[in-house]
Structure 1
Amino acid sequence: MTMRSTLAFIIGCIFLGVGAPVAAQPLTSFVNPFIGTDGTGHTFPGPAWPFGMVQPGPDNADRGWEYTSGYQYRAPRILGFSQTRASGTGIPELGDVLLQPGLEPREDMASTYDKTTESARPGYYAVELADNGVRVELTTGERVARHRYTFARPGRVWVLVDLQHGLNFMDRQPVLSSEARVTENGVEGVSRRRNWTTRTVAFVVEFDRPVAEARRLAPRAGDLADRYLLGFDVGDDRTLEARAALSTTDVAGARRNLESGQDHSFNQTAAEADAAWEAMLSRIRIEAPDSRKRVFYSALYRALIHPSLITDADGRWRGPDGEIRQADGPRYSTLSLWDTFRASHPLFTLVAPERVDDFVNSLLDHADAAGRLPMWTIWGGETGTMIGEPALPVIADAWAKGFRGFDPDRALDAMIRTQTEDHHLSEWSILERYGYLPFDRVEGEAVSRTLEAGIGDDALARFARALGREEIADRFAARRRTWRALIDPETRLPRGRDSEGRWRTPFDPLKPTSPLNNPGDYTEANAWQYLWTPALFDAEGLRDALGGPAAFAETLDTFFFGLPPTEGAAFLGQEAMIGQYAHGNEPSHHVAWLYALTDRPATGQALVRRIAESFYLDQPDGVIGNDDAGQMSAWYVFATLGLYPAVPSSGRYVLGAPLVEQAVIAAPGVGPVTIRCETTPVAVPSDIAHEDLIARRALALPCSAPAHEGAVTSSWHRPSQQSPRVQ
């Protein structure tokens, strides 16, 4: 069955009720794309295709930490509608090829809008621009964004095509070069842009009416890219439609992408996008009140927007070295790996297993082009953002779970190169010389970088051992223990040391540090929050270092219940706090689950429930902290199921307590697996292997307990201005 006929079949099943109860409510109806668009969630309400190439949507601004996705819920004006964006990130990027319609030609086409006219659902967005006299509707296919404008009157109308616009991080000229031309019914061209990464953006925009008039606008100060006002004559239906396709390669690639969806009308594309999302969301069905379903399916939706397709319809893509390559399958970018290796990629092995091998091959192709595995990629380019080598646990986890659609020798070679060759944030020669990273020999974050080196070492050791490469496995299994050198025996906390072995003085274990706001030994966190990083790969070792099982549990209690939350919003991630647990930042995400390793798992279960119920809400400010390309959302999905990949390279899940009565996971090659919440006592192990979960087909877990008495005193800080991280 072809993709088109498959989609038609899905649409028929949904609208005709084939194979499902007629009264079943579509799961897409529970998705609220506005969740996370107010405050620090940094999500966007525009349409997307699951893991698709384009994400058209409204832009309120073109720069500023608050506008990393281009949109803030309470912003009063819309500049226009660009075709690409990253959801929930901490740095602005993309926002390519902005279109803005209106009745009159103005150089500034920004418009106010009435919030009551704004609506969104998976694959569709609409709003009325009050100043411009036009209703805008957006939808998208896998590679083609579609716009439909309905004007207040017939006759000559205008569309601003702004090729200079982009979501700008640096206060500098983002366009390095640009070539564009107006065609009979649109505009096409290619530009080279520099912002978070340097990238090539080729584009083709076609309207369903010929261009009646074209005006090239005078450049803004420093502009290198063109801006046009295109005039169109609309009839009594007052409508104008546009299709936009982009490419990392060239205009020919963008045109082939455009042609891949040319037979589809706007309404058909919107229906197909809805059907594609319905098919993906239905891979987890939960029994819960509608209020819980709205939060859950909105989170699952956000978790499946990225990674984003980067290959053209013919398989070409431009790598981080600037060279165009031919892939033998789909390749993906927008890989926020420091965030997503923790929960997002393990979630894909359950709900999108058919894509996991392609995700890994995307990492390996990147390594071929760049000489090392990626850290944080977007539009095919490397940003070099964050620390550690987070691609390694993604590969190791996939192999541990039985995925075999990539070359293990090629993967092992890329992992070894990445984990041994010095890099500006991976100074292995210094690590091996001293047994840790001394704070006087590296440029900051020495403690965090030492601890996170163990994540990659553990992943490499596990992967090599699975391949029978024992010598390599032993080497990196031994090196992963470098974290122990930084546990201060007096405080039992990770503390900086210099090259002479002297401890950092003075030492404030509650003071967060980050590269821009307050440089120091930790990455957007403090000593207490980084204490738990070794548990991602050596939980038993950390338990022993803290004094054994009883002391481990007592230290967890102190972390959650005995320490005050950080006051103010001076540091990234110090939001949504329970004691020193900061749910707005990823180093804390696994910590509540560590109670499963103590004799009081119910305490962790109660904390997970409270985090889920307090910090995920069905409202625009319902995601507290950057969603980080879906990691925050993936955490919530796992919490709902009652399991979590606390050791991401192991192929195992820590078991907790589901937040719903029942959940059924069913995806290609997975399940159905039914997870039930049991009110009667049920004995379960502390963790379970992925293959055992799949083989069991049914898993009974205890219903989560109420929150620990007096335990949860949450602090929610929403900054009005913060600086993003820069490497």
Structure 2
Amino acid sequence: MQKYLLIFLVFSTFISCTNNNKVVFKSVDYTKFVNPFIGTDGTGHTFPGPSRPFAMVQPGPDNTDQGWDYTSGYQLKDSTIIGFSNTRASGTGISEFGDILLFPFNGNPSKYSAKKIKEHAEVSYYSVELSSNIKAELTSTERVSFHRYTYPNNKAKLLVNLQHGLRFLTDSLVLDSDVKLEADKKTISGYCHTKNWVERKYFFTITFNQKYEAIKELPAEPKENAPKYVLDFNLKDNILKCKVALSTVSVKGAKNNLKAELDHWDFEKVKNDGKQIWNTYLKKIEIEADDTQKTIFYTAMYHLFLQPSNIADVDGQYRGADDKIALAKNGEYYSTLSLWDTYRASHPLYTILVPERVDGFINTFLAHHKAQGYLPIWTAWGKENYCMIGNHSIPVIVDAYHKGFKGFSYDEAMEAMVKTSTENHLNSDWEMYNKYGYYPFDFLDNESVSRTLESGFDDYAIAKMAKKMGRDSIAETFNKRSKYYENLFDSETGLMRGKDSKGDFRNPFEPLEATSPMNNPGDYTEANAWQYTWTPSHYDVNNYIELLGGKDNFTNQLNKFFTLSNDDADKHLGQEGLIGQYAHGNEPSHHIAYLYAFSNTPEKGNQLITEIYNRFYSDKPDGITGNDDCGQMSAWYIFSTLGFYPVNPSSAEFVLGIPQVNNARVILNNGNFLKIRKGTSDLDKANSIELNSQPLQTRITYEQIMKGGKLEYK
């Protein structure tokens, strides 16, 4: 690790010359290009609070405790703040976390809230001036939140609300709690057992820099099972500091985390240390661009590295999916795994930019399998929520295998993937799937087509890894399953269409009607037939071209897809960021513009990629069109800036497009560099692409990227 840090410190500088030609190394602060407010207005669902990369705690302001717009607890346009909680997810479509709400106030309010007057956010720091003349400031380490409240005088009050959380379809949240007011009158510790998107336990310790003079427990409302306290302080300098440490394991674990990470009260040091750490991540890619584009780009980098969250304590202990305490390999156990989203681009990007994290991700999957009986689908705080479909930890594992990562057991991974894909759990019925070669909509009346297509990709990934490992029987079984999508192909429309158990297509068929399991149940997941039809082209593009009748028909189908309009598009059904039927605001569409690389008109894909890049991202608060989904929207932007994308995110290959900057440099952990130059490319013409003066066709491999060199788009 020290070697890698030294490499990054060296390469984060640029050379300038003084009048006497003396060489001077000048540091670049990439954090100045990050705007945490991007994505906080509209449907991006990001948050402006501080965080460390891949951290357990992510404190921030809460406007309310529920609602689809407030899945991170925050919307920029909302002027009300009800307090500052210590955990959240970035860019999700469902609420979770929001643990331990703190609200500074004075007087005797009729309700605990204030208006925000002036707000500021940067990497590792958030502040807001409230209508009560109180200034709140936040920073954090990996497992500890640090709050600083400046009051207008020395008489200070603080609400500690342990009942609070960001809720989803629940009116109770806390099932039980056990909280202790410690004798020093500076510390509150305990745990809460909550049930929201998942059922989980969090343990905490809250400590203040001075004693409280009085404490009062507020009356509990119906269905409340955790205390709410009002603390009174007589401040020495009008400033109250507070540290909140968390653990999935125990109060002792939370206290150990606090002692190890934050044994002082120097707020500015924590803030500045956080900025330095973030620079080691942000400087992994250098781009030549104006400040606006740099702001979008480095904010995307920032959002990419907010999750998954390492929820292991400093001693490596964590609470697993089975509620048992376990010891994490190398102290890493990751959660906030939005795999239906992030397998597409985020995880392939992690293999390039933070390869040191990849084995930890995979070992987390395998530990979850041991505890739960199957690989993770979507986890929060280490618990499975069964959200979305498929089991896309599988392609993440297979991608790591093909890229040569060796810090996990290949045999254990294969066993876990096969078991997950053959033994039923809440999200699967493999007997039905194998009997019919698809999920019939009369037996599975929700997402039948999407479930078939998503499972097909997982099957392909298993088959490919099994073949390379010499497991021919497994490879044959899953390769056959990976072709089940052919059973749902309607040759008349060229679309994937629901089919019943008798083998009859769904009638009537409305290919432009989007369906979603919560809002409008049907055959597709947050998409329509046109959008989900392209799923098999993730991994089987050549066969898919033949299925459509050849390259001419494939090209025509792509052209129709990007021009066919629909006046009834609903953003809550995945219909956001539209170009024709392409919906950039949701993940099933993300690879489709890159499919033009296999068409008769590859330059058309370059035009569309550039249009998507410029239309659906900006440096404004509404600059992410659709949920960022734990960094997936951001990962698309980063890859497209560089000029390639993982159309098949389990293959160790990337499809070439066109860079959105003239020059870029990727600084790799192995000490190599990949320099990217666009030159004077003309989007209306097919361009030649060379890697180290050798021509490339439609793809570049992971191995080629990691060897470094010069990638030129001429």
TM range (shorter): over 0.9
Mapping for residues 220-299 of structure 1, pairs under 5 Å: 220-235=221-236, 237-264=237-264, 265-299=266-300
Q: How does 1:528-567 map to 2 (within 5 A)?
A: 528-561=530-563, 563-567=564-568
1:401-454 Cα deviation digits (max 9, x unpaired): 111110111111110011111123221111110111111112411111111111
- Correspondences of 1:272-671 after superposition (within 5 Å): 272-329=273-330, 330-561=332-563, 563-569=564-570, 571-669=572-670, 671=672
Select which of 689, 695, 700 maps to 2:712.
700
* 1:565, distance to aligned residue in structure 2 (A): 3.6
For residue 142 of structure 1, report the CA deviation from its aligned partner: 1.4
Q: 1:574-620 CA deviation, whole Å, 9 max, x = no partner?
A: 01100000001100000000001113211111111111111101111
Contact 1:420 1:428 survives alignment (8 Å): yes
Amino acid paired to 2:562? F
643-652 or 666-675, which moves further after superposition? Answer: 666-675
What is the aligned partner in structure 2 of residue 167 from structure 1?
166
Per-residue CA deviation, residues 485-538 of structure 1 (Å, 9 max, x unaligned), is 000121111111110001100001100011122111111111100110001111
Rounded Cα–Cα distance in structure 2 between residues aligned with 1:258 and 1:527: 51
Which whole-Å CA distance do the structure 2 matches of 1:602 and 1:6 have between them? Answer: 40
Question: Match of 1:287, as an amino acid?
Answer: E
- Counterpart of 1:195 in structure 2 is 196
Q: Distance in 2 between matches of 1:692 and 1:507?
A: 45
> In structure 2, how many angstroms separate the alpha carbons of the residues matched to 1:10 and 1:191?
42
Root-mean-square deviation (CA), in Å? Answer: 2.2
Tell me if structure 2 keeps the 8 A contact 1:565–1:578: no
Q: Distance in 1 between matches of 2:629 and 2:157?
A: 36
Structure 1 distance, partners of 2:645, 2:429, is: 31
| Distance change >3 Å, CA 102–CA 38, structure 1 → 2 | same
Is the contact made by 2:362 and 2:397 (CA closer than 8 Å) also made in structure 1? Answer: yes
Residues 67-94 of structure 1: CA distance to partner in whole angstroms, max 9, x if unpaired?
A: 0000000011101000000000000000
CA distance in 2, matches of 1:324, 1:269: 30
Shift of 1:328: 2.2
* Alignment check: 8 A CA contact 1:565 1:577 kept: no
Name structure 2 gaps, 5 residues minimum: 17-21, 682-686, 690-695
Q: Distance in 2 between matches of 1:6 and 1:609?
A: 34
**Contact 1:105–1:158 under 8 Å retained in 2:** no
In 2, the alpha carbon distance for the partners of 1:21 and 1:227 equals 56
TM-score by length of 1: 0.92
The corresponding residue for 1:705 is none
Amino acid corresponding to residue 335 of structure 2 in structure 1: S
- Is the contact between residue 307 and residue 631 of structure 2 (CA under 8 Å) also seen in structure 1? yes
Query: Helix, strand or coil: the match of 1:505?
Result: coil
> Cα–Cα, structure 1 residues 93 and 20, in superposed 2: closer, same or farther, change >3 Å?
farther
Query: 2:122 maps to what in 1?
Result: 121
1:178 alignment partner AA:
S
Gaps of 5+ in 1: 703-727
Q: Indicate which of 26, 44, 49 corresponds to 1:46.
A: 49
The aligned residue for residue 692 of structure 2 is none
Deviations 1:293-312 (A, max 9, x none): 01100111101100001101
What amino acid does structure 2 have at the position aligned with 1:701?
Y
Stretch of structure 1 that moved more, 137-146 or 179-188: 179-188
Which letter does structure 2 place at the counterpart of 1:251?
Answer: V
2:220 matches 1:208 = no
How high is the TM-score relative to the length of structure 2? Answer: 0.94
- Partner residue in 1 for 2:104: 101
Among 46, 53, 61, which residue is 1:58 paired with?
Answer: 61
Q: Answer with 443-452 or 82-91: which moved more.
A: 443-452
Compute the displacement of 1:156 (Å): 2.5
Deviations 1:1-43 (A, max 9, x none): 889x979x969x999x9x9966554111000000000010000
In the alignment, the residues of structure 1 paired with residue 190 and residue 481 of structure 2 have an alpha-carbon distance, to the nearest angstrom, of 50
State how far apart, in whole Å, the 1-side matches of 2:631 and 2:356 are: 19
Higher alpha-carbon deviation: 388-397 or 689-698: 689-698
Measure, in 2, the Cα distance between the counterparts of 1:246 and 1:48.
14
Q: Measure, in 1, the Cα distance between the counterparts of 2:384 and 2:548.
A: 38
Partner SS, residue 146 of structure 2:
strand
Quick one: distance in 2 between partners of 1:211 and 1:328?
Answer: 40
Aligned to 1:145, the other structure's residue is in SS state strand
Secondary structure of the 1:118 match is: strand
CA gap 1:220/1:293 in 2 versus in 1, 3 angstroms:
same
State the 1:663 CA deviation: 1.2
The separation in 2 between residues aligned to 1:314 and 1:212, in whole angstroms, is 35
Deviation at residue 469 of structure 1 after TM alignment: 1.4
Cα contact 2:491–2:548 (8 A) shared by 1: no
